[in-house]
Amino acid sequence: MHLPHMITDVAVMLLTAGIITIIFKKIKQPLILGYILAGFLISPFFPMFFTAEDTESINLWSEIGVIILMFHIGLEFNLHKLARMGGTAIISAIVKMAGVLLTGYVLGIFMGFSSINSIFLGVMLSISSTAVIQKSFEELGVKSEKYSQLVMGTLVIEDIVAIFMMVVLSTISVSQSVSGRELTVSLLLMICYLIVWLILGIYLLPTFLNKVIKVMNDEMLLVLSLGLCFGMVLIANALGFSSELGAFLAGSLLAGTIHVERIEHITKGVKDLFVTFFFLSVGMKVDPQAIISYAPMIIIITIVAVIAKLIFATIGMLLSGQTMSTAVKSGFSLAPIGEFSFIIASLGVSLGVMKDFLYPIIVSAAVLTTFLTPFLIKKSPAVTTWLEHRLPDSLLKKLNRYTADDQVDDNADNEWNEYIRRFCSRTILYSVIMLVTVVAGLKVLQPLLAGPLPDLPCKICVCAVIYFVMAIFIKPMLNLHNRVFTSLWLKKRANRLPLIVLTSIKVAIIASIAMIPLISLFDIFPGFLFILLVVIVLVTAKSDFMATSYLRLETRFLRNLNERIIKAEEEKGVQQSWLDEELHIITLIAPEDADFLGKSLAELQWGKIFNIYVVKIRHNGKHMILPNPKTVIHGGDKIYIVSDLKSIENFYRLIRIKPSKYPRTLKQFMETDYPVIENALSVCAVKLTGDEAFAGKSLKNGNFKDKWHCIVLGLQQKGYPIIMPDANTMIEAGDIIWVMGSNNHVGRLASECVCEQVDMFQ
């Protein structure tokens, strides 16, 4: 029976790779180089050995290898890891990649390459090898040092930037030129694609996995994980993006779940097999004749790449606030050209825009930089000493002042920076959601309804669905009463105009997006209609319309996003300590000349505006626990207020009273002011079974204050804590709620309900 060529090729490829990698392991060299050498041995360029014949199938397997490699890179990345990287990794990665890319581009132009080939050269040189650097750190025993951890963080950011680079290169390759408009459109579309799929993935995927994981064995989970990977590849291609982007995004979605370690374990064998074919295919494309012909060019490119990485990586670390010693060690560690460069080289060849001779050049340069890396890391302390003796004293003093450890770790609170950061993130996130809703309504929903419905009813239904979904996100996007906004508003009158302008920008964005369906479906654009939409947006933002729906979406999303953290704390037996750390209580005596005297709590609206709870008022010796809204404040009243520190700070600014002492946490208050008397405040935590009268209702419909004379300070849903929850928040079976009231009322709630009492504080 005749065997297909592919089976013969696979047998020889794997046997050759297995033997070569054993030899490379013995001589302590990176396995990647062993795979490349094995690929070269079975290539047409080495006729003295077996030559693989079914190159078309090998290239297909190689492409699958790239997809699965990108999937695994995504599995090692999640949003929490990105947040922990801090500014150092981001700044150093961007400075280093931008500097090396520009250097490589200039070098390519100088060598006579075309603009597109020079861009590909610059991008390939700018990426460092995670595998080689990690292996070098292990062999040299420096994995625990500060600079090695910073380097690994920088490599994570590089992988993310490289994904963006591939989109940019694909766009440039299609048009054969650099078009600012096309690049901008492609990047904006990719950002929208990433945001929407990350939101949908985080919202749906962990919940789905948690529901089905009990019936899934390793085989089923392997099939599902790879199915998700290739499904996202199909979606990415349908949207005009690369397969690698879809695979990376699939991995990053799974990276945030509590099952990622199991998925990594069961897919590792598949990844190792197909990635082997990718690196073998890299070696098969290495033409020794081209290496000999372009040897001077390879040496020049290698030298320039190493020097450029040393310089720009070091500068990036210095700019991020690291010391010279840490910066130089980091710069020397990032020398090797990465395996991602091979992927980009394959992309350039497959698109037909990169000259074939560049492939063996970049592979050869990568091999040379790999061999140089351990030597460079060892020599970095000596180079640091040399620089300290050669650089002018004035420059060294400036560097020491700039990179002082206390400056690096000093993250002084800057409310404007925090507000601008929240403004940008919320505006981009919710604008994208609304815009995608509009596009989906016009491009998907309208064609579906056009058949069964007449034209006008169809258009009205499409608009109704679009505006219904948009209404859910209007209030959280504007976020009018957040604590930072309130603090800035109260701190200076000069802050108010910029805050109004920024809020107006968000309102205008929402109204503009809301105009799109009307223009597209009804071809109308009167000015008064835009003004009407602005008014509707403001009214919706101030009302509780759709608040419950949004809060349920947000709680589930945040719970899934923090699933791994919550699970880790549960496994360690760590109780949630947020309530006794974040919630504080203050007591103040109302001054005789205060502006708020003679006004009721309903008139003052402190709770709605400043997010504080007035939990007790003592007036003429009479104690009022959880006073009703009609209660009037008089001079000399002792007022007890519960909230977080920022809201308490804003409240003090409003009433223009300086605090006499620092607010106490609820735990401290309960330990010091807990007399067993009827009018004392008490806090209790209970776990709901679902049979309670208030289960399945929102907090405002649960009648906690009217029936039980208690308020809910916080709740925990499936491990996720919500401090001072919105009145529209739904409470469900399994939730833990923290209630405050008098001793008698709190005790009655705990005893009369079927809920289980739990320990309040650690």
Q: Which residues pair with 711 in a beta bridge?
A: 740
Q: What does the pLDDT read at residue 84?
A: 60
pLDDT in tens, 213-243: 888 898 999 999 999 999 988 888 877 777 8
d(Cα 76, Cα 357) in Å, to the nearest integer?
33
Q: What percent of the chain has pLDDT over 90?
A: 7
CB 489 within 8 A of CB 496: yes
324-333 and 358-390 are packed helices; what angle lies between their axes, rounded to 10 degrees? 160
Tell me which of 299 and 482 has the higher pLDDT: 299
Cα dihedral 740, 743, 749, 755 sign = positive
Residue 522 structure tokens: 């009804």
d(Cα 104, Cα 138) in Å, to the nearest integer?
30
Q: Is the pLDDT of residue 103 over 90?
A: yes
Average pLDDT over residues 466-477: 87
Would you list the DSSP string of 551-618?
HHHHHHHHHHHTHHHHHHHHHHTPPP-HHHHH-EEEEEEPPTT-TTTT-BHHHH-HHHHH--EEEEEE
**Three-state DSSP state, 375:** helix
d(Cα 343, Cα 349) in Å, to the nearest integer?
10
pLDDT in tens, 359-369: 888 888 888 88
Q: What does the pLDDT read at residue 721?
A: 82
pLDDT in tens, 52-85: 777 788 888 888 988 898 888 888 776 666 666 5
pLDDT in tens, 406-455: 444 433 346 777 788 788 878 888 888 888 888 888 888 888 888 788 88
Q: What is the mean pLDDT of the chain?
A: 80
pLDDT in tens, 634-680: 989 999 999 888 888 888 887 878 777 788 887 777 766 555 556 67
d(Cα 665, Cα 318) in Å, to the nearest integer?
40
Q: What is the pTM of this model?
A: 0.70
Q: Is the pLDDT of residue 284 over 50?
A: yes
